[in-house]
Amino acid sequence: MTLPNALTLLRILAIPFFAIAVWYGHLWEALIIFVAAGLTDLLDGWIARRFNQRSRLGAILDPAADKLLMTTAFILMALPKDHLPMPIPAWVAILSISRDVVISLVGLVAWLKDEQLDRRPSLLGKFTTGAEIVALGIGLLTNALGPTPWQGYVIPWVYYAMAAFVLASGIHYYHRTNLEPAAEGEEPGA
């Protein structure tokens, strides 16, 4: 058990507390947990690289923790609740979660077929995750602050920008994995 893996496990253990805070309208607490989870994600990655503490367990747990937190946040913040004056539009949550599900399924199919995929996140994938974190963080903050005149103008554009990143990275991932069928007589992946 390395320090980065311990931080990742701590992040996973924080997810139910984050969910409870959002569900019951304790949005400042949810925001604090969300920001703390983001900081531990940065910290565990930095420690793993800086002190050469990378591990196979960490390579599985870290993205799983990220996806669990993001999926939980998208679902809970898209549900209509009285304490969320500016919920995330359902289409944004569905788009983001669907992209992650498709990527996971492609990885599972490749694993079942014993094929190798480049599992390293691309720069666009990292920007997309960053855009999702920023959008969720802004969504939590604006809901915690309560209704303000600028929310109706600014917040939708935050979600549109995030959705554009999600779409672009999904298309990029598709081309990166070379899922297109091979032409007649051509080797797959050639």
Q: Domain 3-177, what fold?
A: Four Helix Bundle (Hemerythrin (Met), subunit A) (1.20.120)
Angstrom distance (rounded) from CA 83 to CA 28: 12
> Using an 8 Å Cβ cutoff, are 30 and 17 in contact?
no
Kindly state the tokens that stand for 79: 């549900």
Helix-then-strand count for the chain, H and E: 6, 0
The CA-based angle 98-164-171, given to 5 degrees, is 60
The whole-model pTM stands at: 0.84
> Using an 8 Å Cβ cutoff, are 18 and 69 in contact?
yes
Domain range list for the chain: 3-177
Q: Is the pLDDT of residue 190 over 50?
A: no
> Using an 8 Å Cβ cutoff, are 11 and 69 in contact?
yes
pLDDT of residue 57: 86
Least confident of 2-6, 61-65, 81-85, 109-113: 109-113
Q: Is the pLDDT of residue 34 over 70?
A: yes
CB atoms within 10 A of CB 10: 14
| Per-residue model confidence as pLDDT tens digits over 36-94 | 999 999 999 899 899 998 888 888 888 889 999 999 999 999 998 888 988 999 999 99
